[in-house]
Chain A
């Protein structure tokens, strides 16, 4: 099951050229661009690992794309990688963009657990199948 999180997630995967254009947009807005990765795609897992530091004072998207290539070299095919852009201006102080740029070759999807409680009530829990295995071995 294809994970859809953040922007553009219902579109086909972005090409490097398209990624560079999005990143350049963020840079021109003055946002700090981050590269993050994780192997736990649960929607409530909002804090992913960071690849390096946020990139504040770059002028060109080529810098981000080359960092992304370096990150892919290590994690491509086994982890999700996303790019996010943080707006530090007063009043915002939050992410303005976030989109997935790389995903594992196979995505097993989520397990939906129904727990019967209090008579006929049901509680629902979703759990990625991938998290059955310990971190680092989930998609290999």
Chain B
């Protein structure tokens, strides 16, 4: 008895070493680190990704030992408020899953309702199938997925598309991963109307709103990419801006910040034209000052509402 037990134990011990080596060889750690560096906040998303990565590595080890393994379902749904990074993460997902060896080719096919649903009877099925064929071996990303289902029109072809999607999601799990994304409230409604979808999606990931500090970091990063930087006063002004903007309607997290920065760049350009004559240094061209940000309408609106 002791011999076989020992052998088993040895095999098991070797496998633990392998798992660690697997982890290093697969480059997963690198991908996750990169994600951590480049995407700010999004704690629940990152946690879930780590879990998935771990699961896939363990599955691979199990397969090598001949233990029962069934391809895990990796269909996902990303829900969250506007501008919380759903699309950005989905774009990276294909790359991550490819590195993990879960999808074979790693291409991302990004579609919306228009690409799936046809305009007349008999048009929808070939169209949806065509898209699915393109996505085989990779990730199919359906943005604003709730538009697929239009309850107000009972003859809507969206339902047909949903049926085909469901069938492929179930039968060809190892061939493609489907990611749905959309705003929380509408996706909830969508899932209530299509319970089949909810149960076929293993990972429902909710994207939380960013905190003020995180938004400031994001702003820094965005500007850095475009070779701009904020002066210290501008940084204070932007922090103030974020706080005030959040109180106002149509706040959409990182997207609002991106728009605000785009407008600040406009004002900076205008200021450079108006006030500086002659030669400009690279430094002047890339600095965004407090006045570029304080000129925003947001501050006026905030002041008015306080006066009332």
Contact = CB atoms under 8 A, between A and B. Distances in A.
The number of chain A residues touching the other chain, given as a range, is 10 to 19
A58 interface: yes
B81 interface: no
A62 interface: yes
B137 A59 contact: yes
B159 interface: no
Interface in B136-177: 136-138, 172, 175-176
Contacts, number: 34
A42 to B, nearest CB: 31
B73 interface: no
A61 to B, nearest CB: 8
Interface string B234-255: 0000000000000000000000
A58 B105 CA distance: 10
Nearest to B105: A59
B134 A59 contact: yes
Contacts of B175: 60, 62, 66
Contacts of A61: 137
22 contacts: A52-B126, A55-B133, A57-B134, A58-B133, A58-B134, A58-B136, A59-B105, A59-B138, A60-B104, A60-B105, A60-B137, A60-B138, A60-B175, A62-B136, A62-B172, A63-B134, A63-B136, A63-B137, A66-B133, A66-B172, A66-B175, A67-B133
Interface of A: 52, 55, 57-63, 66-67
Interface of B: 104-105, 107, 126, 132-134, 136-138, 172, 175-176
